Amino acid sequence: MYEILYDIFGSEILAYIIGAALPLFVFILPFALFAVYLERKVSGFMQDRLGPMRTGPYGLLQTIADILKLIQKEDITASDTDKKFFNLAPYLVFAGSYGAFAAIPFSGIYIGSSADVGIFFIVAISSLVVAGLLMAGWSSNNKYSLLGAMRSAAQIISYEIPTVLVILTVVMVTGTLSLEKMTDMQTAYFWNWMIFGGAGWTLNKILLIPFMFVAFLIFYISSLAEVNRTPFDIPEAESELVAGYHTEYSGMKFAMFFSAEYANMFAVSAIAVTIFLGGYQSPFGYLGNTLGWTWLVPIEQLFWFTAKGIFFVFVQMWLRWTLPRLRVDQLMAVCWKYLIPYAFINLIIVGIITLL
């Protein structure tokens, strides 16, 4: 991808800047627009309503109208806030969630950074979000914001443990941290996906299947908690804390938090897809290969990747309208008493199976 950009622009720095900005402008912002619309429509249909209908055909322009509104709004900074950190926080949060996209392979030819530590980098950079949230909550000088930020920090740090344990499980099987290589291992057909025990018809694969399913469940549950989605949305708990850590924000800074939230939703879905469900690989071969059009393959790969990612974003929305919010003690009990022991047992069993 960088070679192509280098050929076009003739400058290495320019090529890197454009290559880095590409997922933001081509993918994340349109995705955030689409996801907000999808969220409202899914919410509507699940409650037997229609969702937005008045702005454009079937309310398609609703999010664009919302964005225009957010751009026009006054950027209020309350007088008692800690201005330096208050202004820094949304950018930090957005940078944290955007940084995760650097190591996610969107298609065979596009990956921000093919570093060998891919998944490790994502886990590390996602933790930056916690600092941003805590900064936002504390500098707002508002009890609800502070409470929300504290809850958020406690929750994200707790749920990182089962996430990392599950990632470790998968890394033990694949033997690599690079998401690109992980994806390459799951090529061809869907039974080669990690959730079905990986490629090759061996005894290991058959034995791994149930444990991979458990790993996937644990990963999905804890990733939900990491992006503060229902049923783990206590940091934002609108019925308790106004809006949690971003109560005091308005205008574009609020939009930063908002788009970071939706970018995060896709990021965790993309990671789940990449390590368990074959990433950008098609479940049953490529049309481009059959027809001999090699240029079609990367486009198909991008399609499969976004389709799988958006499906899991949809599942997040689906869960939002299924489950009520957990209490703080229940939240911690789920993490420490259930997910972490299961993740550990799973890790040990998978370790034994891979030794076989």
Q: Which residue, 59 or 137, is less far from other proteins as judged by CB?
A: 59
Q: Which residue, 252 or 319, is less far from other proteins as judged by CB?
A: 319
Nearest distance from C-beta of residue 66 to other proteins, angstroms: 20
Nearest distance from C-beta of residue 339 to other proteins, angstroms: 10
Phi-psi region of 292 (alpha: psi -120 to 50; beta: other; left: phi over 0): left
Q: Does 50 bind other proteins (CB under 8 A)?
A: yes
**Out of 7, 10, 13, 48, the residue judged to bind other proteins by CB under 8 A:** 48
**Out of 70, 217, 243, 347, the residue judged to bind other proteins by CB under 8 A:** 217
Nearest distance from C-beta of residue 220 to other proteins, angstroms: 11
Q: Does 11 bind other proteins (CB under 8 A)?
A: no
220 Cβ neighbours under 8 A, 6+ residues apart: 272, 312, 315
Q: Does 42 bind other proteins (CB under 8 A)?
A: yes
Q: Which residue, 114 or 322, is less far from other proteins as judged by CB?
A: 322
Question: Which x/- pattern, by CB under 8 A, does the window 291-330 give for other proteins?
Answer: ---------------------------xx-xxx-------
The CA R_g of the chain, rounded to the nearest whole Å, is 21
**Out of 53, 88, 296, 299, the residue judged to bind other proteins by CB under 8 A:** 53
Q: Which residues pair with 111 in a beta bridge?
A: 105
Q: Which residues pair with 284 in a beta bridge?
A: 189
Nearest distance from C-beta of residue 18 to other proteins, angstroms: 40
Q: Are 120 and 66 in contact (CB under 8 A)?
A: no
Tell me how far apart the alpha carbons of residues 269 and 114 are, in angstroms, rounded to a whole number. Answer: 19
Report the candidate in 290, 285, 289, 317 with the shortest Cα–Cα distance to residue 304. Answer: 285
Q: Does 345 bind other proteins (CB under 8 A)?
A: no
Q: Which residue, 91 or 318, is less far from other proteins as judged by CB?
A: 318
228 Cβ neighbours under 8 A, 6+ residues apart: 152, 155, 156, 235, 236, 261
**Out of 91, 201, 303, 338, the residue judged to bind other proteins by CB under 8 A:** 338
Tell me how far apart the alpha carbons of residues 272 and 278 are, in angstroms, rounded to a whole number. Answer: 9
55 Cβ neighbours under 8 A, 6+ residues apart: 61, 62, 65
Compute the C-alpha angle 219/116/298, nearest 5°: 80
Tell me how far apart the alpha carbons of residues 42 and 216 are, in angstroms, rounded to a whole number. Answer: 24
Nearest distance from C-beta of residue 205 to other proteins, angstroms: 24
Nearest distance from C-beta of residue 100 to other proteins, angstroms: 26
Nearest distance from C-beta of residue 169 to other proteins, angstroms: 18
Nearest distance from C-beta of residue 48 to other proteins, angstroms: 5
Q: Which residues pair with 16 in a beta bridge?
A: none
Tell me how far apart the alpha carbons of residues 285 and 287 are, in angstroms, rounded to a whole number. Answer: 7
State the virtual CA torsion across 53, 54, 59, 60 in degrees, nearest 10. Answer: 160
Q: Which residue, 172 or 332, is less far from other proteins as judged by CB?
A: 332
Q: Does 332 bind other proteins (CB under 8 A)?
A: no
Q: Does 342 bind other proteins (CB under 8 A)?
A: yes
Residues contributing to the site for other proteins (CB under 8 A): 42, 44-50, 53, 217, 318-319, 321-323, 334, 338, 342
